[in-house]
């Protein structure tokens, strides 16, 4: 099972959008690779409708979506057509899923990524999420059980937070959203710690030597991490 900081395991696969070579085909982009238990299941249907409805939002942050289940290509195609033709969820209907959905009947990819959890199901992938950066490195891993649908606002927040951390060399506190204060790297020496507590670093506020924050306006975050901004 891959871990945060590992290179994303490589694979080639057939998808609803044609063959892909992963992660090579996505070099230079962020990717959310996610699995779902099975086609024609209700929770998965709501998730795919939500992901498809947010696809342009993710694309604005240079992030592509790639789905996977251990069903076959023809099942995928039939299910996605049913979603577009018949399914209604909240204010969504007529939703077309245009991101690739991987055919993984052999469970080869699901096994490489540790998506099969025998305690949940031996023949279905759990709701795994891998956020992979433009260099093909795994940056976040989230697992949900079969019964629990994902929080998609959180997945978009994760993408924004990772990109903000990379762009500004900061960390983001609990429940952070763009425009809120960010955490500056912890002081690495006694001198730096003293300077911070004495207010020597402009714009940096410290509660204690190890807990210092600064303002980072939302517009600065957006201009740095939005595609084409």
Bridge pairing between strands 20-22 and 101-103: unpaired
Give yes or no: 206 in active site: no
Phi, psi of 78 (to 5 degrees): -65, -40
Q: Spot the catalytic one: 44, 190, 206, 212.
A: 44
Is 3 annotated to bind ligand? Answer: no
CA-based end-to-end distance of the chain:
36
CA 151, 53, 221, 34: dihedral to nearest 10 degrees? 50
Name, in order, each residue with C-beta under 8 angstroms of 109's C-beta and a sequence gap of 6 or more. Answer: 11, 13, 68, 102, 115
Known binding positions for substrate: 127
Known binding positions: 127
Active site residues: 44
């Amino acid at each position: 099972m891959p871990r945060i900081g590992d290179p994303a395991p490589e694979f080639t696969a057939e998808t609803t959008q044609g063959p892909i070579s992963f992660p090579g085909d996505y070099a230079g982009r962020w990717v959310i690779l996610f699995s779902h238990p099975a086609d024609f299941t209700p929770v998965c249907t709501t998730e795919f409708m939500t992901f498809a409805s947010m696809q342009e939002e993710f694309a604005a942050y240079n992030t592509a979506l790639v789905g996977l289940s251990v069903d076959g290509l023809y099942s995928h195609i039939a299910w996605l057509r049913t979603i577009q033709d018949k399914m209604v969820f909240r204010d969504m209907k007529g939703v077309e899923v245009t991101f690739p959905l991987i055919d993984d009947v052999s469970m080869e990819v699901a096994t490489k990524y540790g998506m099969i959890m025998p305690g949940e199901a031996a023949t279905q992938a759990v709701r795994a999420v891998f956020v992979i950066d433009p260099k093909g490195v795994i940056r976040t891993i989230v697992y949900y059980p079969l019964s629990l649908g994902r929080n998609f606002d959180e997945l978009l927040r994760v993408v924004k937070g990772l990109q903000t951390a990379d762009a500004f060399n900061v960390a983001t506190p609990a429940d952070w959203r763009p425009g809120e204060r960010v955490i500056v790297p912890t002081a690495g020496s006694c001198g730096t710690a003293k300077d911070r507590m004495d207010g020597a670093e402009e714009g940096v506020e410290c509660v204690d030597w190890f807990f210092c924050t600064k303002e980072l306006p939302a517009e600065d975050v957006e201009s740095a991490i939005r595609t084409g901004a």
